[in-house]
Amino acid sequence: MDQKLLDKIRGLKDKRRVVLLAHNYQPAEIQDLADFCGDSLGLSIQASKTDAEMIVFCGVRFMAETAKVLSPGKTVLIPDRQAGCPMADMITAGQLRSLKQQHPDALVVCYVNSTAEVKAESDYCCTSANAVAVVRSLPQDRRIIFVPDQHLGRFVEQQTGRPLILWPGYCTTHVLISQDDILQARRQYPDAIVMAHPECSEPVKDLADTLLSTGQMLKFVQNSPAKRFVVATEIGMIHPLKKARPDAEFIPASRRGVCPNMKKITVEKVLASLENLQYPIEVADEIRLKATRALQRMVEIRPGN
């Protein structure tokens, strides 16, 4: 990595009082540059409490939008405008309104991987780390609409025993990890612990030893005596896992588990973002105000609460 480029980024970051946030799926060099690297819940909490003047969000658009809703007074930049999330685009606010009309008494929980417009139509947001805790906190006599990820939704149904009204959305990256990948990894590494993300398909999750968000994976390996782990999630996750447990071996369940949108952020684009203040995230006031309530509830409900 070009040292001059890194020094320039660090200098501009200090001068402009910027906090650089990066998701665990970001390229390794971006994670190493960041002030805080973590899962969607951890990043949202950081974005809501930072005293920096500006946030540069190295992740995908819905994450930067969440930061803007939680910190409306700050400039929030995303270094690549095209870094979106296909799952977030699988449901529109209009589609959610129609679903609500079909189930007028239901509460709406939306996965944070959604647009600000969809969040504005929702009662609660959640991440994969606190989805179970959010659903458990809701009154037993209410039906629950859960959007957009059907796979996270089924995981929540299993954990809580509550049937949910699901939307057929999915992560285009996690569904590329197959049952055969896990069976083969099990044959090759019989001593390994298999960790899978709840966004994986049900056959993959059924074969895993434990189902965890990316932040929970980090905590899990730090507390585990095991020396070898098979990791069924986006490939960027291998980097923070290795940093957390340098003595252990981490094997990606599939080399196909790559999110092309997460990989759109580069060191050069981070520099351009700091130099030219590009690309600012804007959320219209009426959407922001409605989305705030659901997001505030999400950052307040911690896993296990």
Task: Return the structure tokens found at 60.
Answer: 């995908």
Total residues interacting with ligand 13P, rule: CB under 6 A: 12
Of the two residues 25 and 279, which places its CB atom closer to ligand 13P in the complex? 25
Minimum Å gap between C-beta 262 and ligand SF4 is 6
| 128/197 Cα distance (integer angstroms) | 8
Q: Alpha helices, DSSP H only, in the chain?
A: 3-15, 28-33, 40-49, 61-70, 93-102, 116-120, 131-136, 150-160, 179-188, 202-207, 214-222, 238-244, 267-276, 285-300
The residue type found at 83 is: A
Q: Which of 152, 259, 274, 291 binds ligand SF4 (CB under 6 A)?
A: 259
How far, in whole angstroms, is CA 230 from its chain's centroid? 20
Interface with ligand 13P in residues 197-216 (CB under 6 A):
199, 213-214
Interface with ligand 13P in residues 21-80 (CB under 6 A):
24, 39-41
User: DSSP letters along 143-171, please?
Assistant: -EEEESBHHHHHHHHHHH----EE--B--
Q: What residues form DSSP beta bridges with 75? A: 54
Q: Which of 77, 126, 156, 171 binds ligand SF4 (CB under 6 A)?
A: 171
- 178 sits near ligand SF4 (criterion: CB under 6 A): no
- 113 sits near ligand SF4 (criterion: CB under 6 A): yes
Out of ligand SF4, ligand 13P, none, which partner does residue 172 contact, by CB within 5 to 8 A per kind? ligand SF4
Backbone angles phi, psi at 154, to 5 degrees: -65, -35
| 257/178 Cα distance (integer angstroms) | 10
Interface with ligand SF4 in residues 14-33 (CB under 6 A):
25
Out of ligand 13P, ligand SF4, none, which partner does residue 181 contact, by CB within 5 to 8 A per kind? none
Q: Which of 70, 194, 234, 298 binds ligand SF4 (CB under 6 A)?
A: 234
Residues in contact with ligand 13P by CB under 6 A are: 24, 39-41, 113, 127-129, 171, 199, 213-214
